[in-house]
Amino acid sequence: MTKIPVPFLILVTLVINTQARQKSTNAKATYKTVTVYTTAEKTDYRLTKTATLNLTPFGQPLETQPCVFLDATRKFQTIVGIGGAITDASAETFAKLPAAGQDELINAYFNTEKGIGYSLIRTNMNSCDFSSDSYAYVADNDVALKTFNIAHDETYRIPMIKRAMATAGGRVPLFISPWSPPAWMKDNNSLLQGGKLKEPYKQSWANYYVKYIKAYEAKGIPVWGLTVQNEPMAKQRWESCLFTAEEERDFIKKYLGPTLQQQGLASKKLIAWDHNRDLLYQRATTILNDPAAAKYVWGIGYHWYETWTGSAMQFENLKRVHETFPDRNLIFTEGCVEKFDLNRIQEWSIGERYGFSMVNDFNSGTVAWTDWNILLDETGGPNHVGNFCFAPVHADTKTGKLIYTNAYYYLGHFSKFIKAGARRIGTAASRDKLSTTAFMNPDGRLVVIVLNLSNDELPYKVWLQGTAAELTSLPHSIATLIIE
């Protein structure tokens, strides 16, 4: 009888045990219940729990049976967070609220139980249009940045960011975006009206980001990432600065990327573009096809304002970038409904724009989604150039009351339930009037978004692993289904 060596037996045992563990890990989870939260026009439903259902055996659906299909075995991008921007305008408006109003606002956004659980924050470096005035953090012609200080931000913005982070439970990814370098660094000698960064000041401007990040972190606010330039192809009457794709590429590879590395900030997520979807592919290919620039770039940021040209939202451009550069990340960095009008504040299309964008952005590979101002006043400001816009929440600074638009609830259908670290999973609807995206949270629960932009009430089944539950999608509604 042949004697089998002991080491070989040990190896076989290890292989068998490993395979058993893999089979156990890969085994399909058993999902049993569906909890439904709904927001719908012409109802009182606002992120309201409207049903708890059981999944029961259901085989092959017929073509006459509308379905939302789920495949939890197919996993895609990992979600970083969903949130909004704390700008000067948001922080100044917040400071005008009474203590109770401030508590309400912070909880409404950042408390995971009482509110919608924001998990991402953006803020402006130097002034932007949603500031009460124009400013920078250094004195004129201080190339060495010896006068650099962030005293301006300590009055309103830093305290609000700290409260938001504390309410959210600690660390929340925060990224910074500049609208313009100091005026003296630019060829038009102005923070406003576009202009370009002068060659002699490119290193000084790269050092500026480092100063800002380290100043915030010294105040106890960790900085997760940064964009190179807000809207680098837009000459605006407010703070702006122009970079062609080649100029942004070269600034990244010659100045900003190396400076971050040399200053111990290589872990910060560097985000290029930060402008609309229309030129996204050209900007991404120009920067990411250059290995010397691409090695510094974590992802490509984008906005939704390409519609100003008369175009629809160009989600196909996101898909092209995602399939071309699958090792880079897509992040929605800004969006709002423009041209504020208090008479339109409860217009249902405002929230639907958010829902439509978010479903399609996530399905196109986006890993993080950032709204613009989280709070504005009753005029859609403050804004030092009169560019007044909608926010999900407005404050009536005369009465101290908060006004919640439906955009707040549409955002909450995503941010409250989709946790950082969630993975998007396979989903598809059998009717074009239902739009859907779905995720698996780190705890294994499934989060399914079903959007209905039509005037029709649509019965449908949510179908998973040969089981289904029957639901009804109300006209002009969004629903979040929690499956566990």
pLDDT one-digit tens code per residue, 187-205 = 999 999 999 999 999 999 9
Strands (DSSP E) found in 126-190: 174-178
Looking at the chain, the whole-number percentage of residues with pLDDT higher than 70 is 94
Phi/psi for 354 (5° steps) reads -65, -50
Residue 20 above 60 pLDDT?
no
Residues 31, 29: Cα–Cα separation, whole Å: 6
Residues 452, 476: Cα–Cα separation, whole Å: 5
pLDDT at 170: 86
Residues 255, 263: Cα–Cα separation, whole Å: 12
The architecture that CATH gives domain 81-420 is Alpha-Beta Barrel (3.20)
Cβ(265)–Cβ(206) below 8 Å: no
Record the pTM: 0.94
Domains in the chain: boundaries: 33-77+425-483, 81-420
- In CATH, the number for domain 33-77+425-483 is 2.60.40.1180
> Exposed, middle or buried by CB within 10 Å (0-12, 13-18, 19+), for 2?
exposed
pLDDT one-digit tens code per residue, 298-335 = 999 999 999 999 999 999 999 999 999 999 999 999 99
Residues 412, 464: Cα–Cα separation, whole Å: 24
Catalytic residue numbers, as ranges? 231, 334
pLDDT at 313: 98
pLDDT at 302: 99
Give the up-direction half-sphere exposure of residue 97: CA atoms within 13 A in the CB hemisphere. Answer: 27
Cβ(394)–Cβ(376) below 8 Å: yes
pLDDT one-digit tens code per residue, 31-46 = 999 999 999 999 999 9
The full DSSP string for 226-273 is EES-SSTT---SSB-----HHHHHHHIIIIIHHHHHHTT-TTSEEEEE
Mean pLDDT, to the nearest integer, of 430-450?
98
pLDDT one-digit tens code per residue, 348-376 = 999 999 999 999 999 999 999 999 999 99
Cβ(4)–Cβ(17) below 8 Å: no
Mean pLDDT, to the nearest integer, of 75-90?
98
Helix axes 157-167, 88-95, angle to 10 degrees: 80
pLDDT at 28: 63
Q: How far apart are the first and last CA of the chain?
A: 53
Please, what is the Cα angle at 409 between 404 and 412, to 5 degrees? 125
**SS3 assignment, position 357:** helix
> Exposed, middle or buried by CB within 10 Å (0-12, 13-18, 19+), for 206?
buried
